[in-house]
Amino acid sequence: MHSDGPDGPYGSWPSPIDAALAAALDGRPEYVGTLGGEVWWTEPRPAEGGRRALVRLRAEGGPEESVLPAPWNVRSRVVEYGGRPWTGVPREGRGPLVVFVHFTDQRLYAYEPDVPGAEPWPLTPLSSVGGGLRWADPVVRGAEVWCVLEEFTGPAPTDVRRVAAAVPLDGSAAGDRSAVRELTDDRHRFTTGPRISPDGRQAAWLVWDHPRMPWDGTELKLAEVTEAGGLEQVRTVLGGPEEAVAQVEWAADGSLLAVSDRSGWWNPYRIDPGTGDAVNLCPREEEFGGPLWKTGLGWLAPLPAGPVAVLHGQGSSVLGILDPETGDLVDVAGPWTAWQPTLAVSGSRVYGVAASPRSGYEVVELDTATGRARVAGGRRAHPVDPSYYPEPQSRTFLGPDDREIHAHVYPPHHPARRAPADELPPFVVWAHGGPTDHVPPVLDLHIAYFTSRGIGVVEVNYGGSSGYGRAYRERLREQWGVVDVEDCAAVARALAAEGTADPERLAIRGGSAGGWTTAASLAATELYACGTIIYPVLDLMGFAEETHDLESRYIDSLAGPPDTLAVRCRERSPLARADRITAPFVLLQGLDDVVCPPAQAERFLAALRDRSVPHAYLAFEGEGHGFRRAESMVRALETELALYVRTFGLTRTDVPPLDLAGPELA
């Protein structure tokens, strides 16, 4: 067979989806909001150094506008993963006032985009201590902006405190830390920003503490807002150590709404502020919430007339309109199969971010008066024939003890190529990050990059993933490096056994926690011919000591309490088991990564120094936890393909041969 004919071996097919295209369209709109009749959101700019732009769509329509030119970068670093980085208020005659976080210095700025010649002015000071002052989840209240303040008190990642704070909009705190009013004390380690009731008299927010993660247990706090703008009579009205409240919002009528998993599933509740009584508005074995990796995520948004827009489902979330009085739920019609946790409301219109297997993430508008939904913005043209896109198959596999494992299978797909009838395709298992995360079956050009060339992909929502109830999440409790590894292997073996995948050409890849699963899998089994390890956790004890504050106690639930950590580390850490790894791999690492610091990668490579394991190490300057620059993503994707070309014996000329001799600086 010849690859330039109508047929060709798997992995040899030509494809118009190159790495540059996949990188250019990487990322998605986030943090949708409305100002009057306008819709605003943040959007990635891989070609502009990976910055996040603030985008505006005016009420009268017209083209989308990037509100701030480069190098303005609207992105918060609170808990390193960030949080909602902007807010605004419409004003008569002067246009909106916008408040945002600039990534480079993490200061809050205010800006009047409709005032000719106006420039953003800083609202908060700089700090030379540790990671400085950081802000997230803002909301304008009168002459102040209320938000989360994260303040470092020393050089270590865990030398940090977090409170709700009020920042004056006149800029008087730009050089004076004492002008920032602290609204809460720092007795709780983590907090979201306050949500203020419609009458301005109450505020609600979420808190949690080490060693819990926000999907383990949070508390919903409620307080009275004094005339002077303080918070008094602070009390807990919902949540606890084993109940995770993911979101709190006020309805237009002053009732308090929250998303809690007290039933084993995140469902929407109405809370009586006086008694704490909680009424489940839509009891279903579905998730109406998710893991609170960032402050300011939203799965529900009340409409002024009474209904509530909600995201719900198992695995993937869809948008529905809930009648809180009857529990009736009507889903939006349209092609979108997965919605991100960001919702905004303007009158009878709801805005969110959604995608499908045929379209990337875009801003969608639902007119609840007519039931019609349309793309409002954020759509990026794909200069590729959609016939090259893969068709995902959402399936359930059986793992050890017949436990269910959810996965999305993307077979190789090309509109004009087919492989010989007697050939089975190579397949790559994708292990997602988190590990308390999940992947929905939507268009991802990074996947299409491989499938259109004849390499299959299967994304595994292994035990521990969100989207399938609390019990499924807790399968990974103290079992990280065991359940995730077993579940990925079970799916790979099942695909091979049924004749979907070539058992001799299986690979595994993943980033962050998925990088841990990838490296741990290479140490635990000889199932995989190679692996791609991306900004990974490689050492349990090192991760606990070196990572950022949010995840510094995550290991307690993933691997066990501190007194067992040394044993679990020896049993499971890829660093401790490096002598068991024989398959070739590439390791891709950002040198500015504070979540999974490069020191772990360096120790791992040192443990392999005297062994003949073929591998390559690419260290990316200027990249942190997650590659954002187009040139970095192109290099990473082409290196991964080059690994498969070399390992699977493929013939390709669109990527340079991979040298597996030693480290390289990208």
pLDDT tens string 127-166: 999 999 999 999 999 999 999 999 999 999 999 999 999 9
Residue 4 has pLDDT above 60, yes or no: no
**Within a domain: 15:** no
Q: How confident is the model at residue 27 (pLDDT cuts 50, 70, 90)?
A: confident
d(Cα 512, Cα 536) in Å, to the nearest integer?
A: 4
* Strands of the 245-250 sheet, one edge to the other: 245-250, 256-260, 267-271, 278-280
Mean pLDDT of 575-603: 95
**Within a domain: 94:** yes
**Within a domain: 348:** no
**Within a domain: 641:** yes
Average pLDDT, the chain: 95
* pLDDT of res. 127: 94
Q: How confident is the model at residue 612 (pLDDT cuts 50, 70, 90)?
A: confident
Residue 5 has pLDDT above 50, yes or no: no
Q: How confident is the model at residue 3 (pLDDT cuts 50, 70, 90)?
A: very low
Dihedral sign of CA atoms 457, 462, 466, 467 in order = positive
Which two tokens mark 546?
């070196």
Residue 449 has pLDDT above 60, yes or no: yes
**Within a domain: 349:** no
- Of all residues in the chain, what percent are helix, strand and coil, respectively (each to 5)? 15, 35, 50
- Of 14, 18, 15, the C-alpha closest to 3 is 14
pLDDT tens, position by position, 462-494 = 999 999 999 999 999 999 999 999 999 999 999
Strand stretches in 492-642, DSSP E: 506-512, 530-536, 585-590, 615-620
Residue 2 has pLDDT above 50, yes or no: no
Give the CB-side neighbour count of residue 186, counting CA atoms within 13 A. 13
Q: How confident is the model at residue 345 (pLDDT cuts 50, 70, 90)?
A: very high
Q: How confident is the model at residue 661 (pLDDT cuts 50, 70, 90)?
A: low
pLDDT tens, position by position, 220-267 = 999 999 999 999 999 999 999 999 999 999 999 999 999 999 999 999
pLDDT tens, position by position, 190-201 = 999 999 999 999
Task: Count the domains in the chain.
Answer: 2
pLDDT tens, position by position, 522-562 = 999 999 999 999 999 999 999 989 999 999 999 999 999 98
d(Cα 103, Cα 108) in Å, to the nearest integer?
A: 10
* pLDDT of res. 276: 86
Give the torsion through C-alpha atoms of 381, 409, 572, 466, to 10 deg.
Answer: 70
Which two tokens mark 620?
């990316």
Which two tokens mark 273?
């502020």
Token match 């009732």: residue?
255
Which two tokens mark 613?
């394991």
Question: Which of 154, 186, 218 represents a domain boundary (last residue)?
Answer: 186
**Within a domain: 209:** no
The CATH number assigned to the domain holding 551 equals 3.40.50.1820
Residue 664 has pLDDT above 70, yes or no: no
Question: Which of 144, 165, 186 represents a domain boundary (last residue)?
Answer: 186
* pLDDT of res. 666: 46
Mean pLDDT of 101-113: 97
Residue 397 has pLDDT above 80, yes or no: yes
**Within a domain: 272:** no
Q: How confident is the model at residue 61 (pLDDT cuts 50, 70, 90)?
A: confident
d(Cα 270, Cα 272) in Å, to the nearest integer?
A: 7
The CA-based angle 251-255-258, given to 5 degrees, is 75
Q: How confident is the model at residue 500 (pLDDT cuts 50, 70, 90)?
A: very high
Residue 409 has pLDDT above 60, yes or no: yes
* pLDDT of res. 1: 33
**Within a domain: 513:** yes
* pLDDT of res. 6: 64
pLDDT tens, position by position, 40-60 = 999 999 889 999 999 999 988
Over the range 21-53, which residues count as b (16 or more CB within 10 Å of their CB) and which as e?
bbbbbbbbbbbbbbbbebbbbbbbbbebebbbb
Domain of residue 148, residue span: 75-186
Residue 325 has pLDDT above 60, yes or no: yes
Question: Which of 186, 221, 251 represents a domain boundary (last residue)?
Answer: 186
Given a contact cutoff of 8 angstroms between Cβ atoms, the answer to whether 558 and 476 are in contact is yes
The CA-based angle 576-581-586, given to 5 degrees, is 105
Count of CB atoms situated within 10 Å of the CB of 117: 5
Residue 268 has pLDDT above 70, yes or no: yes
| Residue type at 583 in one-letter notation | A
Given a contact cutoff of 8 angstroms between Cβ atoms, the answer to whether 273 and 256 are in contact is yes
Q: What is the pTM of this model?
A: 0.95
